Amino acid sequence: MKLRKVTAASAVVLALTATATACGSGDKDSGSSGGGDKITIGIKFDQPGLGLKEPDGSYSGFDVDVATYVAKELGYKESDIEWKETPSADRETALERGDVDFIVATYSINDERKKKVDFAGPYLLAHQDLLVRSDEKVTEGEDLNGKKLCSVTGSTSAQNVKNDFAPKAQLQQTGTYSECMDGLVSGAVDALTTDDSILAGYASQEQYKGKVKLAGLKLSNENYGIGVKKGDTEMVDKINTALEKMVADKAWDKAVEDNFGPADYKNEPAPKIGDIVK
């Protein structure tokens, strides 16, 4: 093979090209505290009131509002945010691969998850609860025995109720919470169980207003945190600062009212950073 000599002028052009390429590759710094052109945030796309992709392509929900506020404090405009769907089973992997900068997706903080990712927050204390028809009253124990409880396949919520509160309850599992909601309204099931924040989001939808209500049982404590790649303490610290500001300027309260208000959701006060309720 005959090699061509590189002239001095050509060398300068090559050097400038390489420099430009290197600069262009730094548009997004996913391993630190932000400041690039774009930021990628993981959310749920199918949870009304928390993380929902609307028919027009926009996004709504409490998690979306929290994530947008945090991104703004990190130096990003709303138009700089790239939303990425992160189902529960994919959250740790998405962070490990660097697919997202952080995740705000009903992500309960627990010891097992903390081995793989770091958490900022918590930013919401939720509880496992039941959603029932508005004309019914349900309490723990005997009232649930014999009842048909619905939850999604793979969820532990319905099994927790059966194990801890109502051993004679009948479990029904579906592919989506929407299927459970249809069954609840039609009378095919007696209750839908999962986190009260998720239930409140569904109850706030126009088609369900006045038809369903939360039982208010508080069957567990779910401390929602913002997931960050393991070891990125700078990002955790900056997100925590943003969350504290969101609470202080009442934007947190507004987000709760905007997203859960129609369900008459009895939310807990905004949790203090690092305060994990067992």
Break the chain into its structural domains and give their ranges: 39-126+222-263, 128-214
Interval 57-91: pLDDT, tens: 999 999 999 999 999 999 999 999 999 999 888 99
Crossing angle of helices 196-203 and 177-186, in 10° steps, is 60
Q: What angle do CA 225, 269, 43 make, to 5 degrees?
A: 30
Running DSSP on this structure, what letter comes out for residue 101? S
Query: What CATH code is assigned to 128-214?
Result: 3.40.190.10
How much is the pLDDT for 262? 81
In angstroms, the CA 159 to CA 83 distance is 32
Interval 26-42: pLDDT, tens: 344 444 445 569 999 99
Residue 5, pLDDT above cutoff 60: no
Hey, what are 123's tokens?
A: 């930013």
pTM over 0.85: no
Architecture of domain 39-126+222-263: 3-Layer(aba) Sandwich (3.40)
Q: Cβ neighbours of residue 139 under 8 Å, at least 6 residues apart?
A: 215, 217
Interval 145-204: pLDDT, tens: 888 999 887 677 877 888 888 888 898 988 888 899 999 999 999 999 999 999 999 999
- Residue 250, Cα to own-chain centre: how many angstroms? 20
Q: How confident is the model at residue 48 (pLDDT cuts 50, 70, 90)?
A: very high
